[in-house]
């Protein structure tokens, strides 16, 4: 009897540790107008979307958009969804692109580096020569995720380090 209960407990523990956090939980911090825009999307598309649990500052705005076939049809084939988080002081913006079919983004940097995020994901990291734009990219089973940080181009050098950016990317769920 103890063996059966232990087996059931282990199975429950494994299932709960490997299950993905629900869209509703992950998107809780989004403004209501964006949640309403996403509401008609299929569950599998919502499940592929990523949301930060930490950003580089506490005050920011968020915008959402998507590309579909037919155009602007939330019930059509959602090809790309994106969120743009912008610092209220214009120090940075972070764009989260999710290509809902594994694909390559339209641009690549020359100095790619493979990094392992704290959440266990292996990703490609790139940055521009001046470090004001950084990108992390990875593909999972059904989608490709591209997260970019763009700092204020009026600066000569970045105010955020590669490590700070990767820390933020590691919190995405």
Q: Which tens digit of pLDDT belongs to each residue from 141-168?
A: 889 999 999 999 888 889 999 999 999 9
Distance (Å, rounded) from C-alpha 19 to C-alpha 77? 25
pTM of the model: 0.81
Mean pLDDT within 95-100: 94
pLDDT tens per residue across span 63-87: 999 999 999 898 889 999 999 999 9
Taking a C-beta distance cutoff of 8 angstroms, is the pair 147, 95 a contact?
yes
């Amino acid at each position: 009897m103890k063996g059966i209960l232990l087996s059931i407990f282990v199975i429950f523990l494994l299932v709960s540790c490997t299950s993905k956090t629900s869209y509703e939980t992950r998107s809780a911090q989004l403004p209501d107008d964006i949640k309403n825009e996403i509401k008609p999307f299929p569950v599998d598309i919502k499940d592929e979307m990523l949301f930060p649990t930490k950003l580089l500052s506490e005050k920011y705005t968020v915008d959402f958009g998507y590309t579909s076939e037919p155009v602007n049809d939330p019930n059509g084939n959602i090809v790309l969804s994106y969120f743009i988080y912008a610092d209220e002081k214009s120090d940075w913006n972070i764009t989260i692109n999710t290509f809902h079919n594994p694909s390559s983004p339209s641009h690549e940097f020359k100095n790619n580096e493979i990094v392992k995020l704290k959440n266990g994901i292996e990703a490609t990291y790139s940055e521009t020569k001046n470090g004001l734009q950084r990108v992390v990219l990875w593909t999972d089973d059904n989608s490709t995720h591209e997260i970019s940080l763009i700092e204020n181009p009026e600066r000569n050098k970045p105010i955020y380090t590669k490590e700070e950016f990767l820390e933020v990317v590691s919190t995405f769920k």
